[in-house]
Structure 1
Amino acid sequence: MYICICKSVTDHQIRKAVFEDRVSSMRELRRCLGACDQCGKCATDAHAILRSSISERTEMEQACMEAAA
Protein backbone atom coordinates (compact mmCIF):
# COMPACT_ATOMS: atom_id res chain seq x y z
CA MET A 1 0.00 0.00 0.00
CA TYR A 2 1.27 3.49 -0.77
CA ILE A 3 2.10 5.42 2.38
CA CYS A 4 3.78 8.50 0.90
CA ILE A 5 1.98 9.50 -2.29
CA CYS A 6 4.29 12.45 -2.96
CA LYS A 7 7.35 10.18 -3.21
CA SER A 8 5.56 6.91 -4.14
CA VAL A 9 6.82 5.07 -1.04
CA THR A 10 5.04 1.89 -0.01
CA ASP A 11 4.77 0.13 3.34
CA HIS A 12 6.86 -2.69 1.85
CA GLN A 13 9.67 -0.26 1.04
CA ILE A 14 9.63 1.07 4.59
CA ARG A 15 9.82 -2.45 6.06
CA LYS A 16 12.59 -3.36 3.64
CA ALA A 17 14.56 -0.25 4.66
CA VAL A 18 14.26 -1.23 8.33
CA PHE A 19 15.37 -4.83 7.79
CA GLU A 20 17.94 -4.43 5.02
CA ASP A 21 19.25 -0.88 5.38
CA ARG A 22 18.97 -0.83 9.21
CA VAL A 23 16.84 2.34 9.16
CA SER A 24 15.78 3.15 12.72
CA SER A 25 14.47 6.73 12.71
CA MET A 26 12.26 9.04 10.70
CA ARG A 27 15.34 11.07 9.78
CA GLU A 28 17.00 7.97 8.33
CA LEU A 29 13.76 7.02 6.57
CA ARG A 30 13.60 10.45 4.91
CA ARG A 31 17.23 10.19 3.87
CA CYS A 32 16.87 6.63 2.55
CA LEU A 33 13.49 6.80 0.79
CA GLY A 34 12.57 10.48 0.67
CA ALA A 35 9.32 9.74 2.47
CA CYS A 36 7.56 12.41 4.54
CA ASP A 37 9.60 15.35 3.31
CA GLN A 38 6.98 17.15 1.24
CA CYS A 39 3.41 17.56 2.45
CA GLY A 40 3.87 15.47 5.64
CA LYS A 41 0.40 13.89 5.59
CA CYS A 42 1.97 10.42 5.60
CA ALA A 43 4.22 10.95 8.62
CA THR A 44 1.89 9.36 11.17
CA ASP A 45 1.38 6.20 9.13
CA ALA A 46 5.04 6.00 8.12
CA HIS A 47 6.11 6.36 11.75
CA ALA A 48 3.72 3.59 12.85
CA ILE A 49 5.10 1.22 10.20
CA LEU A 50 8.64 2.19 11.13
CA ARG A 51 8.02 1.47 14.83
CA SER A 52 6.34 -1.88 14.23
CA SER A 53 9.06 -2.95 11.80
CA ILE A 54 11.80 -2.02 14.26
CA SER A 55 10.01 -4.10 16.92
CA GLU A 56 9.80 -7.07 14.55
CA ARG A 57 13.48 -6.71 13.68
CA THR A 58 14.45 -6.55 17.34
CA GLU A 59 12.39 -9.65 18.17
CA MET A 60 13.96 -11.56 15.28
CA GLU A 61 17.46 -10.54 16.34
CA GLN A 62 16.80 -11.62 19.93
CA ALA A 63 15.42 -14.96 18.78
CA CYS A 64 18.50 -15.54 16.64
CA MET A 65 20.80 -14.67 19.55
CA GLU A 66 18.93 -17.04 21.86
CA ALA A 67 19.05 -19.83 19.28
CA ALA A 68 22.79 -19.35 18.86
CA ALA A 69 23.45 -19.50 22.60
Structure 2
Amino acid sequence: MIVCVCRRISDREIARHARAGMGFDEIQFELGVATQCGRCEGCVRDVVAQCSASCPTANIQLANHPLESSAWKPPQSSSPTSSAR
Protein backbone atom coordinates (compact mmCIF):
# COMPACT_ATOMS: atom_id res chain seq x y z
CA MET A 1 0.00 0.00 0.00
CA ILE A 2 1.27 3.48 -0.82
CA VAL A 3 1.77 5.39 2.43
CA CYS A 4 3.46 8.56 1.15
CA VAL A 5 1.60 9.75 -1.92
CA CYS A 6 3.92 12.71 -2.49
CA ARG A 7 7.02 10.48 -2.74
CA ARG A 8 5.19 7.29 -3.78
CA ILE A 9 6.65 5.23 -0.92
CA SER A 10 4.97 1.97 0.12
CA ASP A 11 4.57 0.45 3.56
CA ARG A 12 6.78 -2.44 2.41
CA GLU A 13 9.66 -0.11 1.63
CA ILE A 14 9.28 1.65 4.99
CA ALA A 15 9.10 -1.73 6.76
CA ARG A 16 12.23 -2.96 4.98
CA HIS A 17 14.19 0.06 6.23
CA ALA A 18 12.75 -0.28 9.75
CA ARG A 19 13.70 -3.96 9.91
CA ALA A 20 17.22 -2.95 8.94
CA GLY A 21 17.35 -0.97 12.19
CA MET A 22 16.51 2.50 10.94
CA GLY A 23 14.30 4.81 13.00
CA PHE A 24 11.72 7.30 11.76
CA ASP A 25 14.20 10.18 11.38
CA GLU A 26 16.63 8.05 9.36
CA ILE A 27 13.84 6.72 7.14
CA GLN A 28 12.50 10.23 6.65
CA PHE A 29 15.94 11.41 5.56
CA GLU A 30 16.58 8.39 3.33
CA LEU A 31 13.18 8.13 1.62
CA GLY A 32 11.81 11.64 2.00
CA VAL A 33 8.57 10.53 3.66
CA ALA A 34 6.62 13.16 5.61
CA THR A 35 8.67 15.99 4.12
CA GLN A 36 6.10 17.55 1.80
CA CYS A 37 2.46 17.58 2.88
CA GLY A 38 3.09 15.60 6.10
CA ARG A 39 -0.16 13.63 6.03
CA CYS A 40 1.67 10.29 6.02
CA GLU A 41 3.75 10.92 9.14
CA GLY A 42 1.41 9.09 11.53
CA CYS A 43 1.16 6.03 9.30
CA VAL A 44 4.92 5.97 8.71
CA ARG A 45 5.55 6.15 12.46
CA ASP A 46 3.07 3.30 13.01
CA VAL A 47 4.81 1.09 10.43
CA VAL A 48 8.23 1.85 11.94
CA ALA A 49 6.95 1.09 15.46
CA GLN A 50 5.36 -2.20 14.38
CA CYS A 51 8.50 -3.35 12.59
CA SER A 52 10.82 -2.24 15.38
CA ALA A 53 8.74 -4.13 17.96
CA SER A 54 8.66 -7.34 15.91
CA CYS A 55 12.31 -7.22 14.88
CA PRO A 56 14.41 -5.20 17.37
CA THR A 57 17.64 -5.22 15.37
CA ALA A 58 18.38 -1.66 16.38
CA ASN A 59 19.14 -2.84 19.91
CA ILE A 60 21.90 -5.21 18.83
CA GLN A 61 25.38 -3.94 19.63
CA LEU A 62 28.36 -5.46 17.88
CA ALA A 63 31.66 -5.93 19.63
CA ASN A 64 34.52 -3.73 18.46
CA HIS A 65 36.72 -6.79 18.13
CA PRO A 66 35.54 -10.37 17.57
CA LEU A 67 37.44 -11.58 20.64
CA GLU A 68 35.59 -9.10 22.87
CA SER A 69 32.25 -10.78 22.29
CA SER A 70 30.94 -12.69 25.28
CA ALA A 71 29.12 -15.13 22.98
CA TRP A 72 32.33 -16.61 21.57
CA LYS A 73 35.50 -17.29 23.44
CA PRO A 74 38.62 -18.64 21.72
CA PRO A 75 39.72 -22.10 22.82
CA GLN A 76 42.42 -22.14 25.46
CA SER A 77 45.52 -23.89 24.18
CA SER A 78 47.04 -26.49 26.47
CA SER A 79 50.62 -25.71 25.45
CA PRO A 80 52.34 -22.82 27.24
CA THR A 81 53.26 -19.87 25.08
CA SER A 82 56.60 -18.19 25.42
CA SER A 83 56.20 -14.53 26.17
CA ALA A 84 59.82 -13.81 27.10
CA ARG A 85 61.38 -10.89 25.25
Normalising TM by the smaller chain, what interval?
A: 0.7 to 0.9
TM-score, normalising length: structure 2: 0.62
Aligned ranges 1:34-53 → 2 under 5 Å: 34-53=32-51
- Greater RCO structure (CA 8 Å; 6+ sep): 1
- State the number of aligned residues: 59
* 1:33 matched to 2:26: no
Instruction: Structure 1: state its 5+ residue gaps.
Output: 62-67
Which has the larger helix fraction?
A: 1
| Structure 1 residue runs of 4 or more that deviate by more than 6 Å after TM superposition | none
Distance 1:11 1:28 in 2: 15
Instruction: Structure 2: state its 5+ residue gaps.
Output: 60-70, 72-85
Question: Which position in structure 1 is the counterpart of 2:65?
Answer: none
Among the aligned pairs, what percent are the same residue? 22
